[in-house]
Amino acid sequence: MIKINLTINGKAKTFTIKPDELLIDVLRKEGYKGVKRGCDEGTCGACTIILNGRAVKSCILFAAQAHEGSITTIEGIGTRDHPHPIQQAFVDEGVVQCGFCIPGLIISAKTLLDQNPAPTKEEVKKALDGNLCRCTGYSGQIKAVLDAAAVMRGEK
């Protein structure tokens, strides 16, 4: 067993883990159930989190690789009563159906807007292209991210 330190949604935590334990498992065991398990092989994006400012897939990372890292999960982005503008835009646009893909999509969108507050449609598409959604067809989600960006810039 090894010890790792992670800061998750602003809280410093220490974990005692097996060296080959995956980050998704450590996070879900700790109660971050918004980190969804889909394909388990790095293709669907359901398990996406922000690690040190980058959107990464937690099912293909060993937890030990995140040692001393700063993580944001969907639990750290808005609440039911005070949703993040991206979450609000997804609801307003009606692009949450089964919902399984949504945490990963919101995380990828937030990572983009943190770095690029005024993305083009093509840049949004590129940022979301690692997140699969089987329900909605993507165009509304892309529009929701562009709308949220405008709100965050104070233009809406």
Quick one: which of 6, 109, 133, 142 contacts ligand FES (CB under 6 A)? 133
Q: Closest approach of Cβ 105 to ligand FES, in Å?
A: 7
Quick one: which of 13, 29, 126, 134 contacts ligand FES (CB under 6 A)? 134
> Does position 28 bind ligand FES by CB under 6 A?
no
Quick one: which of 75, 78, 88, 100 contacts ligand FES (CB under 6 A)? 100
Q: Closest approach of Cβ 60 to ligand FES, in Å?
A: 6
> Does position 47 bind ligand FES by CB under 6 A?
yes
Q: Count CA atoms closer than 13 A to 131's CA, side-chain side.
A: 31
Sheet strands (E) in the chain: 2-8, 11-17, 48-51, 54-57, 69-72
Report the alpha-carbon distance of residue 31 to residue 6 in Å, rounded: 14
Quick one: which of 23, 26, 51, 59 contacts ligand FES (CB under 6 A)? 59
Q: Which residue stretch of 26-34, 114-122, 127-135, 147-155 sits at the interface with ligand FES (rule: CB under 6 A)?
A: 127-135
Q: What is the largest CA-CA distance in the chain?
A: 51
DSSP code of residue 117? S
In total, the chain counts a number of residues equal to 156
Q: What are the φ and ψ backbone dihedral angles of 15, each rounded to 5 degrees?
A: -125, 140
Quick one: which of 23, 77, 101, 109 contacts ligand FES (CB under 6 A)? 101
Tokens in use for 38? 């889909």
> Does position 136 bind ligand FES by CB under 6 A?
yes
**Could you please report the per-residue DSSP string of 34-94?**
TS--SSSSSSS-TTEEEETTEEEEGGGSBGGGGTTEEEE-GGGS--SSS--HHHHHHHHHT
> Does position 103 bind ligand FES by CB under 6 A?
no
> Does position 98 bind ligand FES by CB under 6 A?
yes
Instruction: Give me the residues that bind ligand FES (CB under 6 A), please.
Output: 37-40, 42-47, 57, 59, 96-101, 133-136
